Structure 1
Amino acid sequence: MRWSRIAPQLALTPALVITAVAFVGSIGWTIYLSFTRSRRLPEYGIDWSEWGRQYDRLFRDTGWEISLRNLIVLGLGSALAIVFGFILAAMIDKEKRGESFFRTVFLYPLAVSLIVTGAAWRWILNPTLGAQSFLRSLGWDVDFNWLAQGDTAMYAIILASVWQSAGFYMALMLAGLKGINTEIWSAAKLDGVPLWRVYVEIIIPMMKFTFITCAILLSLGVIKAYDVVVAMTNGGPGQSTWVPAYFTINALSAKSNLGYASAAAVMMLVITLVVFIPLVALTVWQQRKREAAR
C-alpha cells in the first residue's frame, strides 16, 4: 500500500527535475545575465555600480519602444480571431448540415506553420504576383502592397495571424456552444426573443470561461510572435514591424549582445506575467464563485 503511494511520485521525479533545470533554471540564468555585461559569450561578473545598465539602455532604445507599440497593435488586432472564431462557431452550430466539412475547412490553416502562413501571405500581398495584380487584371485600380509600407505592414501581419488562428478559436467556441443546454434555445424561441439578444445576454455570459481561455492563449501567442514576422517582413520596412520577440532575437544574433538580449527576454517575461496572472486569477475567482453558488 505504501509503495502504491510512492510510485507515482517517483515516476514524476524525472519530469520535475527536467522542469526545474531546463525551465526554471533557464529563467534564472537569463535574469542573472541581464545584469551582466555579457556580449558574444556569457560573463558572470556583475558590476553593482551599474547593475541596471542593460535595462536602462533597453528603455531608451527606440527599437524597443516600437516593439512594445507593435505588440499592443498586434494584440488588439489578433483579438479579431476570437471574434471571428465565435461567429464561425455560432454559424456552424446553428447550421447542422455540413458541420464536419466546414469545421475541417476552417481548422485547416491551423495545420500550417506560421512560417508557411507568413510565406503564403507574403506571396498574396506581392504587388506583381498576388492579390493586387489579380484585381488590376479585372480592371480594379487598387493598391494592395501593404508589406512595402511601414504604416500598413503590421496590419498585413495581423491579417495573416487572424487567418491562421481563427479556426482554432472556432473549435474552442464550438465546444463551448455544444455544452449549452438546448432548452435555453427552445425557451428563447417560444418567448420570441431575438437571436442576437440570446447570444449577447445569455450565451456569451455563459461562455465566459471559454472566452477567458481564448484570451489567455491569444495573449501568450502574441507575446512570443516571431515566426510570422520573419516570414512576412523580417522586421521591415525599417523597424516598423519589430515586436519584442524579434527585438530579442535580433539583439542576440545581429548585435551579438547576450546581456542586452537577456534584458529584453526578462521584460517579455514580465509582460507575460502582467497579462497572464490577472486572466488566471479571474478564471479562479469565477470558478470559486460558481462553486459557492451551488
Structure 2
Amino acid sequence: MSRRRIKNYRGRVCVVTGAASGIGRAAALRLADEGARLVLTDLNAEGLASAEQACRDAGAPVLVAEALDLTNHEAVMAFGARVVADSGAPDAIFHVAGNSAWGRPDLLEHRIWRSMVEVNLMGTIHVVEAFVPAMMTARKPAALVLVSSAAGLLGLPWHAAYSAAKFGIRGVAEVLRFDLAPYDIGVHLVCPGGVDTPLVETVEIAGVDRSDPEVARTVDQFRRHAVTPDQAAEKMLEGVRKGRYLVYTSPDVRIGFAAQKFAPPLYQIAMTALHRRLAKAGRGILP
C-alpha cells in the first residue's frame, strides 16, 4: 500500500468527475472549502456550470470545468493531456460519474447492458488511462478514488447489468491498489448504499412505468433510508484521509459485505429474502 497519504487538499489539484450533481457535486464543494484546485467535469453542462460557480463562490480556484462524455475515449484522453500539460499530474482523482439502470433479467434489453458497461466501466478505464500514467511519473503522494456501489459487492436484485460494471470497477481497483502502491498512489474503492441523488428520479427500471403510484411509494421509502450526497461525500473524503481501501457511506453495506465473507448462509438467506420481496413488489407494475 502507498506509504504516504494526502491528509489535506489545500493547493492540491483534484479532478472530480460527475461534478454536476449528487456525490460528485458534494465532493467538489467540500474540496473547495478545503482550498483544493479543482478540475471538474460532467456530461451535464448546465449542472456543471452551476457547480463551478458554487465552488468559485466558496473561494476555490477552478482550473478547468468542461462538459465531457466519458465514453468517448479520444475526448477523455485529450482532456487528461490538457490538464496535465497545464496543471501537472493531479494529486487526487475522484471518479464519481456514472449511470444506473435496473431490471428483471428477461426485461433487460441489450442496450441497457451495453450502456451500463460503457458508461460505468469503460468510463472508469478511460479516466485511469488519461491520468494515472502521469501520476506514476510524478512520484508524489496521490489518491485514485473510484466509486463503485453496494451493487459492486452484493448480489442485489434486478442489478445484473449495473453490477456487471460495478463489479468490474471493483476488479480494476483491487489490482491497481497493489500496482500503484510503489508509486505512493493510494487507491480507494467507494461503495455507496442508498444515496438520495437525482439518479433516484431518473434511473431506468426495465419494463416499469415511472409514473406508477407504486413506484413513487417505493422511491419515498428509499429516500427515508438513504443518506444525503453531502454525507456520502464526507465519508468518502474521510476514508481517503484515513487510507482506507474500501470506503462505505452507510453501515448496511459494510454489514452485508461482512456477512457475505464471514457468514455465507446468513448472506444467502438475506439476499433470497430481498429478491423475493422485490419480485412481490413488481407483480403489480411489471408485464
TM over 0.5: no
How does the TM-score come out when normalised to structure 1? 0.26
Please state which structure has a larger fraction of its residues in strand. Answer: 2
Structure ID, larger Rg: 1
